[in-house]
């Protein structure tokens, strides 16, 4: 899609002339662009995002969440002697101080972030140390926000990790079978239905108060952490659209789902998709060391299960989206959502076999 980036960028408090603005990154939800501006003889980069307003109906409230969280973190990072422009996601405000613009002529809702320099977001774990760093990053992020008043946050996507509700949505997509695709994926459908009992465990623990509800990121994939390009150390956690109240088992589980697999999330060759217990251990070590004593027994007891549950939820969402006609997750080729759900189910089978080992590892740290 071509947008009038000159006009878009012109609304924001950035100096200089727009040199270029090109598609960037691998996100499934928003459209991300890298902009380069010429400012006083030097080039400055920015991240321009077109916000997915089909999904985020209340953009104003979404952006208010991001403003609150990033301002809070920037202050905390400055207080501890860090560089807020690099260690926190940072909004560039418009000339009138707003966090985003809405312009139908420009093509929708846009926001700009400061570009986090000399840092990389990895799509797969290339070195265990990177995965360790992402664990420390998410743990540190949770610590930074431990004193943040969660009641200020608007629940952007209610029931985001409510697996009972997700299962119900899956059943609806299956029943509707709008494109007659169910017959192509019978095995996968069966896989989901057989595991229905997974859905209520954490939902019930949260509801009863046996597990604490905390400020969580809710999309803790490796590619939502920026690591230093030279040292590999973590720099910042990004992609804050889904910051909401939730369980740390969700955040932990989603990291494991994405990072403990050496193959891509949409790898068609399942022989390349395997759950790595070694990487699981690496993540547990980093995450629990960063979180310290704030982890409760109920959380610890369910971390390994959270990994299975988040993988199940994601696979079920990919499969439902295939049945719905690929409406939610951006796809670049036919059956990409089927490949995505199959990788998730392969990982679940592996994790189910190694479940006791996984729990033992959590116990040890």
Of residues 265 and 281, the one with the C-beta less far from ligand GN1: 265
Q: Contact between 223 and ligand ADP (CB under 6 A)? A: yes
Residue showing tokens 């040890």: 364
How far, CA to CA in Å, does 277 sit from each of 122, 196, 343, 357?
Answer: 20, 25, 16, 8
Q: Which partner in ligand GN1, Mg ion, ligand ADP, none is near 242 (CB below 5 to 8 A by kind)? A: ligand GN1
Instruction: Specify burial of residue 34 (Cβ count, 10 A radius: 0-12, 13-18, 19+).
Output: middle
* The only residue of 11, 32, 53, 200 in contact with ligand ADP, by rule CB under 6 A: 32
> C-alpha dihedral over 206, 209, 215, 218, to 10 degrees?
-10
CB closest to ligand ADP, residue no: 27
* The only residue of 30, 70, 255, 337 in contact with ligand ADP, by rule CB under 6 A: 30
Strand, coil or helix: 40: coil
Distance in Å, CB of 183 to ligand ADP, minimum:
32
Distance in Å, CB of 122 to Mg ion, minimum:
12
Q: Contact between 59 and ligand GN1 (CB under 6 A)? A: no
Q: Contact between 233 and ligand GN1 (CB under 6 A)? A: no
Q: Contact between 328 and ligand ADP (CB under 6 A)? A: no
Looking at the DSSP assignment, which residues form a beta bridge with residue 42? 39
Q: Which partner in ligand ADP, Mg ion, ligand GN1, none is near 265 (CB below 5 to 8 A by kind)? A: ligand GN1
Of residues 214 and 221, the one with the C-beta less far from ligand ADP: 221
Q: Contact between 254 and Mg ion (CB under 5 A)? A: no
Q: Contact between 121 and ligand ADP (CB under 6 A)? A: yes
Report how far residue 168's alpha carbon sits from residue 85's, in angstroms, rounded to the nearest whole number.
Answer: 42
Which residues are within 8 A (CB) of 134 and not within 5 positions of it... i.e. 6 or more apart?
222, 225, 227, 234, 255, 259, 283, 286
| Binders of ligand ADP in range 72-91 (CB under 6 A) | 89
Distance in Å, CB of 211 to Mg ion, minimum:
26
* The only residue of 242, 311, 337, 344 in contact with ligand GN1, by rule CB under 6 A: 242
Report how far residue 141's alpha carbon sits from residue 275's, in angstroms, rounded to the nearest whole number.
Answer: 26
Instruction: Specify burial of residue 1 (Cβ count, 10 A radius: 0-12, 13-18, 19+).
Output: exposed
| Binders of ligand GN1 in range 296-315 (CB under 6 A) | 314
Q: Contact between 27 and ligand GN1 (CB under 6 A)? A: yes
Q: Contact between 259 and ligand GN1 (CB under 6 A)? A: no
Residues in contact with ligand GN1, counted by CB under 6 A, come to a total of 11
Stretch near ligand GN1 under the rule CB under 6 A, chosen from 26-34, 100-108, 130-138, 287-295 = 26-34
Q: Contact between 156 and ligand ADP (CB under 6 A)? A: no
Which structure tokens are listed for 262? 């050496």
Alpha-carbon torsion (46, 50, 56, 61), positive or negative: positive
In the sheet with 225-228, reading across from the earlier edge strand, the strands are 119-120, 225-228, 234-237
How far, CA to CA in Å, does 272 sit from each of 1, 14, 107, 269, 275?
Answer: 34, 45, 40, 6, 10
* The only residue of 88, 224, 247, 344 in contact with Mg ion, by rule CB under 5 A: 224
CA geometry: angle at 74 spanning 71 and 76, to 5°?
110
CB closest to Mg ion, residue no: 239
Residues in contact with Mg ion, counted by CB under 5 A, come to a total of 3
Distance in Å, CB of 242 to ligand GN1, minimum:
5
Name the DSSP letter for residue 365. -
Residue 151's region, left for phi above 0, alpha for psi from -120 to 50, else beta, is alpha
Q: Contact between 27 and Mg ion (CB under 5 A)? A: yes
Binding residues for ligand ADP (CB under 6 A): 24-25, 27-30, 32, 47, 89, 113, 115-116, 121, 223-224, 238-239, 241
Binding residues for Mg ion (CB under 5 A): 27, 224, 239
Binding residues for ligand GN1 (CB under 6 A): 27-29, 219, 221, 224, 239, 241-242, 265, 314
């Amino acid at each position: 899609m071509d947008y009038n980036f000159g006009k878009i960028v012109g609304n924001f408090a950035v100096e200089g002339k727009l040199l270029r603005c090109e598609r960037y990154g691998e996100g499934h939800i928003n459209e991300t662009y890298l902009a380069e501006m010429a400012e006083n003889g030097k080039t400055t980069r920015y991240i321009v995002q077109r916000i997915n307003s089909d999904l985020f109906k209340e953009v104003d409230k979404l952006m208010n969440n991001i403003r609150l969280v990033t301002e809070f973190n920037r202050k905390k990072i400055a207080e501890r002697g860090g560089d807020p422009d690099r260690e926190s996601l940072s909004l560039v405000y418009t000339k009138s101080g707003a966090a985003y613009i809405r312009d139908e002529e420009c093509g929708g809702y846009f926001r700009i972030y400061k570009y986090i320099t000399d840092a990389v977001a990895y799509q797969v774990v290339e070195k265990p140390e990177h995965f360790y760093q992402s664990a420390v990053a998410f743990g540190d992020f949770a610590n930074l926000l431990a004193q943040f008043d969660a009641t200020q946050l608007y629940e952007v996507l209610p029931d985001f990790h409510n697996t009972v509700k997700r299962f119900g949505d899956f059943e609806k997509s299956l029943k509707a079978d709008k494109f007659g695709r169910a017959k192509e994926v019978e095995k996968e459908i069966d896989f989901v239905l057989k595991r229905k009992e997974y859905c209520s465990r954490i939902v019930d623990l949260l509801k009863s108060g046996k597990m604490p509800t905390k400020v969580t990121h809710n999309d803790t994939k490796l590619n939502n952490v920026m690591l230093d390009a030279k040292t590999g150390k973590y720099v910042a956690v990004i992609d804050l659209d889904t910051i909401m109240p939730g369980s740390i088992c969700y955040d932990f589980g989603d990291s494991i789902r994405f990072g403990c697999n050496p193959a891509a999330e949409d790898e068609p060759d399942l022989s390349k998709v395997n759950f790595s217990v070694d990487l699981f251990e690496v993540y547990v070590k980093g995450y629990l060391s960063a979180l310290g004593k704030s982890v409760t027994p109920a959380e610890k007891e369910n971390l390994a299960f959270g990994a299975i549950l988040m993988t199940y939820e994601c696979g079920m969402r990919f499969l439902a989206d295939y049945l719905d006609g690929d409406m939610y997750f951006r796809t670049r080729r036919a059956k990409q959502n089927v490949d995505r759900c199959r990788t998730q189910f392969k990982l679940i089978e592996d994790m189910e076999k190694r479940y006791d080992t996984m729990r033992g590892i959590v116990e040890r740290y």
